[in-house]
Amino acid sequence: MRLLEAIEPNVRKSMKGLDNFAADGSQAFDNLKSVVMTLGKGGKGQEWAEKISKQLMEGKQYLKLHYKLHVSLDSEVPDHCGRFGLSSEENSFCSKCTHTHHLSCNDCEALTTTLKLIEDAADSITYTNQEQQDDTKYIIVQGIKTIIEWKKHIVRSVNQDRARGKVLDTLQPNEALIERDWAMKFLPLQYRESQSNWFAKRGLSWHVSVITFQEKEGKNSLTVLHIFDTATQDAVTSNAILKDLLHHVNSTNNNVDTLYLRSDNAGCYHSSYGILSVTALNDNPYNIKVNRMDFSDPQGGKSICDRKAAHVKACIRRYVNEGNNVITAIEFNLEAIEIGIGKVFSSKSLNEIPSLVKKCESTVIWRIIAQSSLNTSIPVPVTRNEELEEEDNICSNKYGQLCNHLDRGKHTFPKNNLNIKERTQITHASLMESKSSAEKVLHSGTTHALQAESTLKKGWALKNKREVKRFSKEQIEYMTEKFQFGESTGYKCDPDDVAKEMRHVKNSKGIRKFQLEHFLSPSQIASFFSRLSLKKTSIKYCL
């Protein structure tokens, strides 16, 4: 305990890889927490502020960790029922529930109540000036709106992931599932790289496709990469790649005649050209027809393609560390993808790490063979593990089993029947053993259903139609000034900082330039900056 008190571990946060809904929702909870402390100082009291802050933290962890486990199609809780939340008022996109929604969730109701308490408290305290009142109410309104959108996004993502699981569960030997995604552009790598070559790199566009087949021994997958020196990531290129994938499907398994497609919500896939062109692709010499197309919810497109892309990039980094360069698509297509065959060695050389020898049943050797061709594709078949049997069979789990489960397995979540005290003791023990100071787990216990009335309406989880409003002349001038400042000085203005400054900026007379109804969110400012940058680039191109 003395050591922990003297050297307190640091809590590190990373927002990389999160979708915008999760990142903005997490930030909204933090903003509301700061507002709660202001309300506490304004008359609600310190005890009230600490209580509400704790409830906000519980709600944040509930949405982040537990809420998606409660969402189902047949739940009697309206907050958890995907069929109820995603049914439109139109008959064509409506699904009737065969059950009633007469129950409520403790955690969902607690979050709703907490947000309502904050909203009511903002109207009951005395502010020092009108500026503080407008700033506080704006943060509360935007924060509650963002949190609700995060909750809706979780329901939609669970529903779209359920569609993928249904296809995998019913996949037949004559069918295949293709999941596709454009990976982040690959920056050229050199083993010996000067500082001048490190700057102003142009990335290589590469497309990742994973084809899943149903075979006698189980499901098998084939990863296909398409690498281009220069290519536009639009619907035309994506459909050309899809046409080439039909050839790989037929060459791998000529019994396949039905395809299921799944991709993220990018414009190159989810556009009129990208969808309508599929009917033309059905007219192919392999007699393969596309039966269904699925799309993930916007900002929820993390899939097997991202894991395969990470695997490929790790292999390329190893290849570069061996003294090679990967600059063009030709060099990308070399044995950088091939891991190779491991060498068998005596277990006596592992005496320095006996725990490895005792716990491992076998030495697993991975071999992935890459067939390369310039600007076409690289099929990477998933082969079975080549095992080197050991004398002592203790551990039966293999890394390959984990990969297969993540890619094509069906996830089950066991129910936790421990009470609050037992969960707290186990959590505390695990934290002490790991010597870490991860964020305190405040959510304890499973969801309990109580008799209550719900204010949710049918289709509450559907995306709202975006209301388009034109920026005022003052807003455009202010954002343009900030953009020009970044262009001239090189110090780009952060949209978050601009949004905060916008709520307090004053004119020469000491009067605020913008009132409450004219405040803009960071996403609106970022979109405006993006349009200005695109306009500037197009002008340079025309000249």
Q: How is 24-87 classified by DSSP, letter by letter?
A: HHHHHHHHHHHHHHHHIIIII-HHHHHHHHHHHHHHHHIIIIIHHHH-BSS-SSTTTBHHHHT-
Its domain, for residue 488, covers 474-542
Quick check: 375 pLDDT over 70? no
Asked if residue 399 belongs to a domain, the reply is no
The H-or-E segment that residue 141 falls in is helix 130-169
Residues 234 and 321 in one domain: yes
List pLDDT tens digits, range 397-452.
666 677 777 666 666 655 555 555 556 667 766 766 654 444 444 444 444 555 55
Residues 144 and 210 in one domain: no
Residues 153 and 180 in one domain: no
Contact (CB, 8 A) for 452 and 491: no
Residues 377 and 230 in one domain: yes
List pLDDT tens digits, range 244-268.
999 999 999 999 999 999 998 888 9
Its pTM stands at 0.75
Residues 179 and 274 in one domain: yes
Contact (CB, 8 A) for 479 and 529: yes
**Pairing of β 258-263 and β 289-295:** parallel
Residue 303: pLDDT band (50, 70, 90) is confident
Per the structure block, which two tokens stand in for 309? 């892309």
What percent of the chain is modeled with pLDDT above 90? 28
Q: What is the mean pLDDT of residues 379-405?
A: 52
Q: What is the mean pLDDT of residues 175-181?
A: 94
Of the listed ranges 295-299, 385-389, 431-435, the least confidently predicted one is 385-389
Cα–Cα distances (Å) from 153 to 1, 160, 163, 328, in that order, read 42, 11, 16, 39
pLDDT at position 422 is: 58
φ/ψ of 396, rounded to 5, equals: -110, 0
Residues 441 and 506 in one domain: no
| First CA to last CA distance, the chain | 68
Output DSSP code: residue 326.
Answer: B
Output DSSP code: residue 283.
Answer: S
Residues 52 and 179 in one domain: no
Q: Tell me how many domains the chain contains.
A: 3
Domain boundary among 381, 406, 435: 381
Residues 377 and 479 in one domain: no
pLDDT at position 368 is: 24
Residues 134 and 236 in one domain: no
Residues 94 and 188 in one domain: no
Residues 431 and 313 in one domain: no
Of the listed ranges 243-252, 277-286, 385-394, the least confidently predicted one is 385-394
Of the listed ranges 32-41, 112-121, 467-476, the least confidently predicted one is 467-476
Of the listed ranges 214-228, 289-303, 329-343, 473-487, the least confidently predicted one is 329-343
Contact (CB, 8 A) for 264 and 181: yes
Of the listed ranges 228-232, 453-457, 521-525, the least confidently predicted one is 453-457
What are residue 388's DSSP bridge partners?
363
Asked if residue 440 belongs to a domain, the reply is yes
Between 443 and 202, the higher pLDDT residue: 202
